[in-house]
Amino acid sequence: MLTIIGNIVTIILVWSDPRLHKPMYIFLCNLSFIEIWYTTSTVPNMLFGMLTKNKVISFTGCFLQFYFFFSLGTAECFILAVMGYDRYLAICHPLHYNILMSSRICSNLAIICWICAFLWTAVPVILIEQLPFCGPNEINHFLCDPGPLLELSCLKNYGIEMMYSICNSLILLTTFSFSFISYGFIIKTILRIPSSSGRHKAFSTCASHLMVVIMFFGCATSMNMKPSGNHPVDADKVVIVFYTVVTPLLNPIIYTLRNKEIWNAVKKIVSSH
């Protein structure tokens, strides 16, 4: 509940204050929407199963959860990479920023991130869904993770397993590399700023995003880039809980604590009431 409230508040603050109608905050709204969808698509069913001991999920429901969970994860990879590029343009090319990252370009980038994410995940989900499942269909996990799903199949199709692993690895490596390179240029530019106050101001605008990037890609890599066919152990389940519960809760806190513009928007709303 706190996760949903925190991210909804972030979206409301951005859209209610015209001063926050900037690419950085538009991407932040997209990120908050992803976190809300993440939480509502996995956590309620997880908690219901724990409280009622009714841990049954339909075949269709399982694959829908699988599809949305990993599509949203892919969308978050893309959004975080684009946010890094946005900070790179703002700090390394400030004079051309409004041209290179106009409102139209910002909107198009966000739309492309969503479309590519859901299309990218559709292929492996459809292929895995076509596999025969003979039972007992018991998933050793909190949610419909592809690893346990593939182990339940009567037909061991190593081609599908390899394709899914390659798809995950490509997304994680390319988006993380893109973010890493962006921040490499950002740090290089910040270190050239002569005044310490200027360096501090420049770094404070991207420090929160860098923390989120490290936290997200650390969890995503731990979950996805491991040998196929391994049974999920307790450590994997802890990572899943952190990824689906803790990270979406921390993201709005991390972005707002060090952000003066967000706090000014909060003060504006409070003072108006």
In a domain, residue 11? The reply is yes
Nearest one of 179, 26, 23 to 98, comparing CA atoms: 23
In a domain, residue 273? The reply is no
Nearest one of 245, 271, 197, 254 to 38, comparing CA atoms: 245
Q: What is the CATH number of the domain that holds 201?
A: 1.20.1070.10
In a domain, residue 116? The reply is yes
Res. 113: pLDDT tops 90: yes
In a domain, residue 12? The reply is yes
Kindly report, residue by residue over 63-102, the tens digit of the pLDDT: 888 898 889 989 999 999 999 999 999 989 989 999 999 9
Q: 217: domain range?
A: 2-266
* Number of structural domains in the chain: 1
pTM for the predicted model, two decimal places: 0.86
In a domain, residue 139? The reply is yes
Res. 239: pLDDT tops 80: no
Predicted local distance difference test score (pLDDT) of residue 46: 67
In a domain, residue 61? The reply is yes
In a domain, residue 271? The reply is no
In a domain, residue 160? The reply is yes
Kindly report, residue by residue over 178-201, the tens digit of the pLDDT: 999 999 999 898 888 888 877 777
